[in-house]
Amino acid sequence: DFVMTQSPDSLAVSLGERATINCKSSQSVLYRPNNQNYLAWYQLKPGQPPKVLIYWASTRESGVPDRFSGSGSGTDFTLTISSLQAEDVAVYYCQQYYTTPYTFGQGTKLEIK
Amino acid sequence: QVQLQESGPGLVKPSQTLSLSCTVSGGSVSSGNYYWNWIRQLPGKGLEWIGYISDRGTTYYNPALESRAAISVDTSRNQFSLKLNSVTAADTALYHCARAKPRDHSGNSDWFDPWGQGTLVTVSS
Protein backbone atom coordinates (compact mmCIF):
# COMPACT_ATOMS: atom_id res chain seq x y z
CA ASP A 1 0.00 0.00 0.00
CA PHE A 2 1.03 3.60 -0.54
CA VAL A 3 1.79 5.13 2.87
CA MET A 4 1.02 8.83 3.08
CA THR A 5 2.78 10.77 5.85
CA GLN A 6 1.82 14.31 6.72
CA SER A 7 3.73 16.88 8.72
CA PRO A 8 3.17 18.43 11.10
CA ASP A 9 0.42 16.61 12.98
CA SER A 10 -0.85 19.95 14.26
CA LEU A 11 -0.16 23.55 13.41
CA ALA A 12 -1.06 26.89 15.03
CA VAL A 13 -0.85 29.96 12.81
CA SER A 14 -1.84 33.57 13.39
CA LEU A 15 -4.67 35.06 11.38
CA GLY A 16 -3.38 36.45 8.11
CA GLU A 17 -0.20 34.38 8.23
CA ARG A 18 0.84 31.52 5.97
CA ALA A 19 0.12 27.90 6.83
CA THR A 20 2.05 25.07 5.18
CA ILE A 21 1.22 21.37 5.39
CA ASN A 22 3.43 18.70 3.91
CA CYS A 23 2.55 15.27 2.56
CA LYS A 24 5.01 12.56 1.58
CA SER A 25 4.09 9.39 -0.28
CA SER A 26 6.04 6.15 0.13
CA GLN A 27 5.90 5.71 -3.67
CA SER A 28 5.58 8.16 -6.52
CA VAL A 29 2.02 9.15 -7.45
CA LEU A 30 3.21 10.71 -10.71
CA TYR A 31 1.83 8.93 -13.77
CA ARG A 32 4.38 9.74 -16.43
CA PRO A 33 2.26 9.06 -19.56
CA ASN A 34 0.07 12.07 -18.70
CA ASN A 35 2.44 13.81 -16.27
CA GLN A 36 -0.27 13.99 -13.63
CA ASN A 37 0.15 13.55 -9.88
CA TYR A 38 -2.72 11.52 -8.46
CA LEU A 39 -2.99 13.44 -5.19
CA ALA A 40 -5.85 15.33 -3.55
CA TRP A 41 -6.24 17.51 -0.45
CA TYR A 42 -9.38 17.56 1.72
CA GLN A 43 -10.66 19.83 4.47
CA LEU A 44 -12.64 18.24 7.32
CA LYS A 45 -14.74 20.22 9.75
CA PRO A 46 -16.98 18.67 12.47
CA GLY A 47 -20.58 18.21 11.41
CA GLN A 48 -19.86 19.01 7.76
CA PRO A 49 -19.16 16.79 4.75
CA PRO A 50 -15.44 16.63 3.94
CA LYS A 51 -14.57 18.95 1.10
CA VAL A 52 -12.05 18.48 -1.68
CA LEU A 53 -9.79 21.50 -1.99
CA ILE A 54 -7.14 20.42 -4.49
CA TYR A 55 -6.83 17.57 -6.97
CA TRP A 56 -4.10 16.60 -9.47
CA ALA A 57 -1.83 17.98 -6.70
CA SER A 58 -2.30 21.60 -7.76
CA THR A 59 -5.73 22.11 -9.34
CA ARG A 60 -8.05 24.08 -7.10
CA GLU A 61 -11.64 22.85 -6.90
CA SER A 62 -14.25 25.30 -8.14
CA GLY A 63 -15.33 27.65 -5.37
CA VAL A 64 -12.24 27.10 -3.20
CA PRO A 65 -10.64 30.43 -2.23
CA ASP A 66 -7.42 31.19 -4.06
CA ARG A 67 -5.53 31.46 -0.77
CA PHE A 68 -5.41 27.64 -0.95
CA SER A 69 -2.75 26.22 -3.26
CA GLY A 70 -1.13 22.85 -3.81
CA SER A 71 2.32 22.04 -5.12
CA GLY A 72 4.79 19.22 -5.47
CA SER A 73 5.39 16.18 -7.63
CA GLY A 74 6.32 12.55 -7.34
CA THR A 75 6.45 11.83 -3.62
CA ASP A 76 6.51 15.26 -1.94
CA PHE A 77 3.59 17.65 -1.82
CA THR A 78 2.54 20.81 -0.01
CA LEU A 79 -0.75 22.50 0.79
CA THR A 80 -0.35 26.20 1.42
CA ILE A 81 -2.87 28.64 2.85
CA SER A 82 -1.42 32.03 2.01
CA SER A 83 -3.34 34.11 4.55
CA LEU A 84 -5.10 32.16 7.27
CA GLN A 85 -8.73 33.00 7.94
CA ALA A 86 -10.77 31.93 10.97
CA GLU A 87 -12.93 29.65 8.82
CA ASP A 88 -9.85 27.65 7.79
CA VAL A 89 -9.65 25.96 11.19
CA ALA A 90 -10.04 22.29 10.29
CA VAL A 91 -8.19 19.03 9.83
CA TYR A 92 -6.53 18.63 6.45
CA TYR A 93 -5.78 15.31 4.74
CA CYS A 94 -3.85 14.38 1.64
CA GLN A 95 -4.93 11.32 -0.36
CA GLN A 96 -3.41 9.34 -3.20
CA TYR A 97 -5.74 8.03 -5.89
CA TYR A 98 -2.95 6.55 -8.01
CA THR A 99 -4.02 3.04 -7.14
CA THR A 100 -6.17 1.01 -4.79
CA PRO A 101 -6.32 0.75 -1.87
CA TYR A 102 -6.66 4.53 -1.80
CA THR A 103 -4.83 5.89 1.21
CA PHE A 104 -4.80 9.08 3.22
CA GLY A 105 -2.31 10.89 5.37
CA GLN A 106 -2.89 10.88 9.11
CA GLY A 107 -4.25 14.43 9.04
CA THR A 108 -2.98 17.84 10.15
CA LYS A 109 -5.01 19.84 12.66
CA LEU A 110 -4.85 23.55 11.88
CA GLU A 111 -5.64 26.04 14.63
CA ILE A 112 -5.42 29.78 15.21
CA LYS A 113 -2.49 30.99 17.29
CA GLN B 1 -26.11 19.20 -7.07
CA VAL B 2 -25.62 15.70 -5.75
CA GLN B 3 -25.84 15.25 -1.98
CA LEU B 4 -25.20 12.12 0.08
CA GLN B 5 -26.62 11.26 3.50
CA GLU B 6 -25.62 8.30 5.64
CA SER B 7 -28.01 6.51 7.99
CA GLY B 8 -27.98 3.52 10.30
CA PRO B 9 -27.69 2.37 13.91
CA GLY B 10 -25.27 4.31 16.04
CA LEU B 11 -24.52 1.36 18.32
CA VAL B 12 -23.57 -2.17 17.31
CA LYS B 13 -22.60 -5.04 19.59
CA PRO B 14 -19.26 -6.81 19.15
CA SER B 15 -19.33 -9.77 16.73
CA GLN B 16 -22.51 -8.47 15.08
CA THR B 17 -22.96 -6.88 11.63
CA LEU B 18 -22.79 -3.14 11.02
CA SER B 19 -25.32 -2.02 8.40
CA LEU B 20 -25.37 1.48 6.93
CA SER B 21 -27.11 3.13 4.00
CA CYS B 22 -26.25 6.17 1.89
CA THR B 23 -29.11 8.02 0.24
CA VAL B 24 -28.24 9.94 -2.91
CA SER B 25 -30.24 13.05 -3.79
CA GLY B 26 -29.89 15.24 -6.85
CA GLY B 27 -28.63 12.34 -8.94
CA SER B 28 -29.01 8.60 -9.54
CA VAL B 29 -26.86 5.73 -8.29
CA SER B 30 -27.65 3.79 -11.47
CA SER B 31 -26.56 6.31 -14.06
CA GLY B 32 -23.76 8.70 -14.74
CA ASN B 33 -20.89 6.23 -14.55
CA TYR B 34 -19.73 6.79 -11.00
CA TYR B 35 -18.19 4.75 -8.21
CA TRP B 36 -19.99 4.90 -4.86
CA ASN B 37 -17.61 4.61 -1.94
CA TRP B 38 -17.49 4.05 1.79
CA ILE B 39 -14.75 5.69 3.84
CA ARG B 40 -14.37 5.71 7.60
CA GLN B 41 -12.72 8.12 10.01
CA LEU B 42 -11.12 6.17 12.82
CA PRO B 43 -10.60 7.92 16.16
CA GLY B 44 -7.03 9.17 16.28
CA LYS B 45 -6.08 7.22 13.15
CA GLY B 46 -7.34 9.21 10.21
CA LEU B 47 -9.26 8.11 7.15
CA GLU B 48 -9.55 4.59 5.75
CA TRP B 49 -11.08 3.75 2.36
CA ILE B 50 -13.37 0.71 2.66
CA GLY B 51 -14.46 0.09 -0.92
CA TYR B 52 -16.82 0.98 -3.74
CA ILE B 53 -19.64 -0.23 -5.93
CA SER B 54 -19.98 0.94 -9.52
CA ASP B 55 -23.18 1.97 -11.24
CA ARG B 56 -23.02 -1.47 -12.92
CA GLY B 57 -22.72 -3.29 -9.59
CA THR B 58 -19.01 -4.08 -9.69
CA THR B 59 -17.43 -3.97 -6.24
CA TYR B 60 -13.88 -3.47 -5.04
CA TYR B 61 -12.68 -3.52 -1.44
CA ASN B 62 -9.68 -2.53 0.62
CA PRO B 63 -7.87 -5.85 1.14
CA ALA B 64 -7.64 -5.02 4.85
CA LEU B 65 -11.45 -5.26 5.10
CA GLU B 66 -12.35 -7.41 2.10
CA SER B 67 -13.22 -10.51 4.09
CA ARG B 68 -15.77 -8.64 6.24
CA ALA B 69 -17.20 -5.93 3.99
CA ALA B 70 -20.01 -6.00 1.44
CA ILE B 71 -21.34 -3.05 -0.55
CA SER B 72 -24.61 -3.24 -2.45
CA VAL B 73 -26.93 -0.88 -4.28
CA ASP B 74 -30.71 -0.44 -4.16
CA THR B 75 -31.71 1.48 -7.25
CA SER B 76 -35.38 1.65 -6.21
CA ARG B 77 -34.41 3.68 -3.13
CA ASN B 78 -31.48 5.44 -4.83
CA GLN B 79 -29.25 4.14 -2.05
CA PHE B 80 -26.13 2.11 -1.63
CA SER B 81 -25.26 0.22 1.51
CA LEU B 82 -22.39 -1.16 3.57
CA LYS B 83 -22.40 -4.29 5.66
CA LEU B 84 -19.40 -5.04 7.87
CA ASN B 85 -19.56 -8.29 9.79
CA SER B 86 -17.82 -9.55 12.92
CA VAL B 87 -17.26 -6.03 14.22
CA THR B 88 -15.01 -5.19 17.16
CA ALA B 89 -14.28 -2.00 19.06
CA ALA B 90 -11.66 -1.24 16.39
CA ASP B 91 -14.51 -0.66 13.93
CA THR B 92 -15.81 2.28 15.97
CA ALA B 93 -15.64 5.21 13.55
CA LEU B 94 -17.41 7.97 11.68
CA TYR B 95 -18.56 6.32 8.44
CA HIS B 96 -18.81 8.46 5.29
CA CYS B 97 -20.15 7.72 1.85
CA ALA B 98 -18.65 9.48 -1.15
CA ARG B 99 -18.76 9.53 -4.94
CA ALA B 100 -15.85 9.26 -7.34
CA LYS B 101 -15.45 9.27 -11.12
CA PRO B 102 -13.94 6.18 -12.74
CA ARG B 103 -10.63 7.03 -14.35
CA ASP B 104 -10.15 4.19 -16.78
CA HIS B 105 -11.00 0.55 -17.28
CA SER B 106 -8.62 -0.58 -14.55
CA GLY B 107 -11.12 0.01 -11.78
CA ASN B 108 -9.30 3.06 -10.47
CA SER B 109 -11.08 6.32 -9.85
CA ASP B 110 -10.34 9.97 -9.22
CA TRP B 111 -10.75 11.95 -6.00
CA PHE B 112 -13.81 11.72 -3.75
CA ASP B 113 -16.46 14.37 -4.30
CA PRO B 114 -19.00 14.88 -2.85
CA TRP B 115 -19.04 13.25 0.60
CA GLY B 116 -21.76 12.74 3.14
CA GLN B 117 -21.22 14.31 6.53
CA GLY B 118 -20.87 10.90 8.15
CA THR B 119 -22.63 8.78 10.74
CA LEU B 120 -20.98 7.71 13.98
CA VAL B 121 -20.99 4.01 14.75
CA THR B 122 -19.85 2.77 18.14
CA VAL B 123 -19.14 -0.91 18.72
CA SER B 124 -19.83 -1.75 22.33
CA SER B 125 -21.73 -4.26 24.40
Contact A49 B48 (CB under 8 A): no
CB-defined contacts A:B, below 8 A: 57
* B40-44 mean pLDDT: 93
Chain B residue with CA closest to A107: the answer is B46
Higher-scoring residue by pLDDT: B57, A101: A101
What pLDDT, on the 0 to 100 scale, is given for residue B107? 79
What is residue A61's DSSP assignment? Answer: P
pLDDT tens sequence across A17-45 = 999 999 999 999 999 999 999 999 999 99
Please say if the pLDDT value at position B104 is more than 80. Answer: no
What pLDDT, on the 0 to 100 scale, is given for residue B108? 86
Q: Is B112 on the interface with A (CB under 8 A)?
A: yes
Instruction: Decide: helix, strand or coil at residue A38.
Output: coil
H/E run at residue B74: strand B69-74
Contact B110 A55 (CB under 8 A): yes
pLDDT tens sequence across A61-110 = 999 999 999 999 999 999 999 999 999 999 999 999 999 999 999 999 99
Query: How close, in Å, is residue A47 to chain B by CA atoms?
Result: 6
At residue A112 the predicted structure's pLDDT band, cuts being 50, 70 and 90, is: very high
Task: Give CA–CA dist A29/A19, Å, rounded.
Answer: 24
Chain B residue with CA closest to A92: the answer is B46
